[in-house]
Amino acid sequence: MSKPSLLILPGDGIGPEVMAEVRKIINWYGAKRGLKFDVSEDLVGGCAYDKHGTPLHDDTMAKAQEVDAVLLGAVGGPKYDNLDFSLKPERGLLRLRKEMDLYANLRPAQCFDALADFSSLKKDVVAGLDIMIVRELTSGVYFGEPRGIFKEGNERVGINTQRYTESEIARVARSAFELAMRRNRKLCSMEKANVMESGVLWREVVTEVGKEYPDVALSHMYADAGAMQLTRWPKQFDVIVTDNLFGDLLSDLAAMLTGSLGMLPSASLGAPMANGRPKALYEPVHGSAPDIAGQGKANPIACILSFAMALRYSFDNGSEADRLETAVNTVLAKGLRTADLLGEAGVAPVSTAQMGDAVVEALNESL
């Protein structure tokens, strides 16, 4: 039986550093749990532009289409700010999402008990928080046409178009309902049906799809009200489904409820392949953080937890995903902190590599 395949794209900035710690985890699973992966590595983002003159080479794109899952670090940096828009590092990531048709972006916002004091909200508001935002990822205002900067009379005008088809809404809605069925059977759909026709259609289609899932309690909320409620009492939500633009904003808001962007993973899922698994790309929510790149200060936990999501959604191994998530919780409960998590007086930060080693040690303790 062939080993499941994984393409690693470390990318730019702190990407290679945090991915090196994930490599330790992957090696541990092969040595200690018999979970062996066919791992390959390639370039994306600025490093791909430096070598190939494009943020994503066609050969790399072809590899991504063939493997069971892609694990990405981060892309971008000030070195590339003056490139043409089509050549910026982020275009490599967007191409992966678009051509793999990764239409459902899963963004968990989970507050570990040991980090509840790091949130800007009161501890009782965020302690135990565990919500999932499902963001439509391949359509909406980021991809709609017409778009661009045009001349109208004596001034320029910037145009972006919010566009959704019924089928695009329905498929991400089904992903959210399926996820809700595996969690607490509660789903809130967010849009702006009060002022946007695309929002009206969104609400109508989600409601129609909801009839297929009578055991899921479906509610609707305007996205701006949803942002307010997320900061007022986030634990009222379990699964949230929303469009590309609002999902971008709301998932970042939810991320900061947990105390650190460096803690949060994400999964982008598409249609099932021949083996029944969805096409998938996993990546930490954080950026490339070029200001600390190469200094050993980066927090690898978000990337490690992204691999845990791969275990759960691409490799059908929820028990080992639980093991890895528990190991991370164990390390944090022991008081280990990278620089982004420092808050207690007298606590010295651990390095990126030390945090990765600690997670491996916690995995050993779990046996």
pLDDT of residue 122: 86
Q: Give the right CATH number for 130-257 from 3.30.530.20, 3.40.50.300, 3.20.20.150, 3.40.718.10.
A: 3.40.718.10
Do the first three CATH levels of 1-105+261-367 and 130-257 match, i.e. the same topology? yes
- Show the DSSP H helices in the chain as ranges: 15-32, 46-52, 58-66, 89-99, 123-126, 166-182, 197-210, 223-232, 244-257, 301-313, 318-333, 352-365
pLDDT of residue 347: 73
pLDDT of residue 345: 54
Residue 220's alpha-carbon distances to 109, 206, 237, 267, in angstroms, are 20, 9, 12, 24
pLDDT (tens digit, 9 = 90+) per residue, 293-352? Answer: 999 999 999 999 999 999 999 999 999 999 999 999 999 999 999 988 876 556 789 999
pLDDT of residue 343: 60
Helix 89-99 and helix 58-66, axial crossing angle in degrees, nearest 10: 40
Active centre residues (catalytic): 142, 192, 224, 248, 252
Q: Measure the CA–CA gap between 164 and 201, rounded to whole angstroms.
A: 8
pLDDT of residue 96: 95
Which residues of the chain fall below pLDDT 50? none
Domain-wise residue ranges, the chain = 1-105+261-367, 130-257
Superfamily for domain range 1-105+261-367: Isopropylmalate Dehydrogenase (3.40.718.10)
pLDDT of residue 236: 96
pLDDT of residue 68: 95
